[in-house]
Structure 1
Amino acid sequence: MTAFSRVPAQPGDFIFDPNRVALLIIDMQRDFLYPGGFGESLGNDVALLRTVIEPLAGLLATARAAGIPVIHTREGHRPDLSDCPPAKLLRGDPAQRIGDPGRFGRILIRGEYGHDIIDELAPVDGEMVIDKPGKGAFYATELADALADRGIRSLLVTGVTTEVCVHTTVREANDRGFECLVVSDCVGSYFPEFQRVGLAMIAAQGGIFGWVADSAAVRAALTSAVSPSPAQ
């Protein structure tokens, strides 16, 4: 019989099977988090996103030690922009659009330095990296099949930004029957009010999209799930 694990969360305890849970790390990329990158070029304070790095690094270490599958995503496009619709390409500052030169290479283009994941959270061998052309991690990617192949039913969701790619992915996951716990100090926004409201929306109305808890609670549950039982 499977021993389920429990995380104290909002709006109630998040209960999961340690054998069917994965850590999903969304878009922790240099273009979004590094000073001088695309995010900062749009007038954003990247320090607000960088507060996520330390707690997420701790959670990542705990997940790896517990043998929990880790999946990273990167938002970006093919060099010829054939997978970037005009409705996305033409938004924003005309001088700083997807594919244009940036400090860390062409903005949000696969293979460029800025497109890759920050050094502090770099994937290790065996961890999946999903390249996605949209905000959500399920759209036009292999994520759904990868989770099904591994028997995953629950997701620990982290990354940036809370109100855009994190929210979109959680909504996509919810419609596909996955149970999502958003780790509050491991997701971030350039806008503090969006961060607050974005988290509140997840757990509203009895958990309309999922659950919310901090990384300390999640790490304790993961550690407990793999710790040997005390001698009787």
Structure 2
Amino acid sequence: MRGLVVDPRATALVVIDLQRGVVARPAAPHASSDVVARAVRLVHAFRRAGAMIVFVHVGFSADDRDRLKPHADQPAVPAAQMPPDFAEFVDELPIADGDLRIRKRQWGAFYGTELDLQLRRRGVTTLVYTGIATNFGIESTARDAYERGYEQLFVEDAMSGLTAEAHQFAVSTIFPRMGRVVSTDDAIAKIGG
């Protein structure tokens, strides 16, 4: 990680989709419970260091009118078939009053939300990611962040995909083109938390 200085005052930890309806699904290569545990470690360390914490979740209205509905080979499950607590953050997350909460209605956390506005108002230039799924919510958010000029760190062992292959493709092929791939321990050391 030579060359990249992580200033806590200009850094946000972005926790993607660690919510009941997502964490309940199988994840690979890291179990959802392991991802949540590492995310909690990161939140505590980043908060101690004075970094911004952003909790992102996806959710839709009961009538599904606010959701994309493309003609797709693998369409999304309608909101009516999702559990009522689908969009609720998992209980383990230590969400505090000063943390930013973003509700999205698609894969990426930037489109149609105030995420970019709030990051820029706080002087954030570096984003650090944890969550599920590597190849959907995290990758979509990271592509948008890259095009907006943010520095990025991807905490590989604190994220997981729907399959191990999809996760590995993102962390070995996509993420190295947009930022640095690190471990939980590396990220905590880098932030000084």
TM-score by length of 1: 0.76
Deviation at 1:47, TM superposition (A): 7.2
Deviation at 1:20, TM superposition (A): 0.6
Deviation at 1:100, TM superposition (A): 1.9
Q: 1:115 is matched with which residue? A: 87
Q: 2:64 aligns with which of 69, 78, 81?
A: 81
Partner AA of 1:210 in structure 2: G
Structure 1 position 16 matched with structure 2 position 9? no
SS at match of 1:25: strand
Q: 1:53 aligns with which of 18, 36, 47?
A: 36
State the aligned residue count: 193
Q: 1:223 is matched with which residue? A: 192
**Amino-acid identity (%):** 26
Q: 1:89 to 1:124 in 2, by over 3 A?
A: farther
CA distance in 2, matches of 1:88, 1:159: 27
Does the 8 Å CA contact 1:24/1:71 hold for their aligned counterparts? Answer: yes
Write out per-residue CA displacement over residues 151-207 of structure 1, whole angstroms, 9 at most, x where no aligned residue.
10100111110011111111000000001100111111121111212101234xxx4
Q: 2:50 is matched with which residue? A: 67
Structure with the greater alpha carbon radius of gyration = 1
Runs of 5+ unmatched residues, structure 2: none
Alpha carbon RMSD of aligned pairs, Å? 2.3
Written as runs of structure 1 = structure 2, the 5 A alignment for 1:1-232 is 8=1, 12-34=2-24, 39=25, 48-87=31-70, 91-92=74-75, 97-102=77-82, 104-105=83-84, 113-203=85-175, 207-223=176-192
Deviation at 1:101, TM superposition (A): 3.4
Does the 8 Å CA contact 2:7/2:191 hold for their aligned counterparts? Answer: no
Runs of 5+ unmatched residues, structure 1: 1-7, 106-112, 225-232
CA distance in 1, matches of 2:21, 2:129: 20
SS at match of 1:52: helix
Q: 1:121 to 1:86 in 2, by over 3 A?
A: same
Partner AA of 1:32 in structure 2: V
